[in-house]
Structure 1
Amino acid sequence: MGWLDEISWNADGLIPVIAQDATDGRVLMMAWMSRGTLETTQSTGEAVYWSRSRQRPWHKGESSGNVQRVRDIVLDCDGDTLVLLVEQVGGVACHTGRRSCFYRTLADSGWQVTDTVQRDPAEMYGGTTHE
């Protein structure tokens, strides 16, 4: 049995993945991986996810240049969730131009924006708003 066979893939053949900054532990984003994108990530050392909206592999940073260099791949106890410890090149993980996709905190029954935009999304994506 290979290491990929120890993963509990969901019905769509995917596994949820949390990308976390390897230096300070900040959660940067959540995405999905297929067997093939996990193999590519492991072999290249850069994060490659499965885009459910485009139904194809998505090399993080392919449009923006904000690649994720993978330092470690960690599987949880149930075998159904991964954590990637990454170096976020360019310091921006979110398509909104923020460091993290988790930039809103619930306060006083409303969402408060806690992170500023570090890079204009139009600059990263040439006028489109999503990588």
Structure 2
Amino acid sequence: MSANGHKWLNDVQWDEQGLVPVIAQDFATGDVLMFAWMNRDALARTAESGEAVYWSRSRRRLWFKGEESGHVQRVREIRLDCDNDVILLKIEQVGGIACHTGRRSCFFQKLLSDGQWDTVDPVIKDPKEIYK
């Protein structure tokens, strides 16, 4: 995935903050693992390195997925939706954990018919062991 010239970045519809929403999907299973944001630099670096780089809105800096946890996302495909305003990364999740809570996916809460949120996916590894 060459980022040479970065002309392809101009096809992305960036929002007012210069960001685009990104969905990370397991390449093998199709499971949605997480949602994040990218700016131009993050998307260019992702394409160049083959590993997911996001924009952390809370830290106001590039966030190299796995920089603290070791749970890197190896990018197999980068896709752009029909409106050019959402990125889909098809990834291999190193360590099988995408969420900072130590779960496989960030989407581990399910709305029940009684209006309550139920935690339906287990913690694979205690975050205290991941983030030291």
- If the length of structure 1 is used for normalisation, what is the TM-score? 0.94
Distance 1:15 1:95 in 2: 21
Map of 1:54-65 to 2, 5 A cutoff? 54-65=59-70
Distance 1:52 1:106 in 2: 27
Match among 91, 105, 109 for residue 104 of structure 1? 109
Q: Report the alpha carbon displacement of residue 123 of structure 1 after superposing the two structures with TM.
A: 0.9
Q: Runs in 1 of length 4+ with deviation above 3 angstroms?
A: none
Map of 1:120-131 to 2, 5 A cutoff? 120-126=126-132
| SS of structure 1 residue aligned to 2:42 | helix
Structure 2, gaps ≥5 residues long: 1-5
Distance 2:89 2:54 in 1: 11
Cα deviation code 1:29-59 (max 9, x no counterpart): 0000000010000000000000000000000
- If the length of structure 2 is used for normalisation, what is the TM-score? 0.94
Paired positions, count: 126
Q: Percent identity?
A: 58
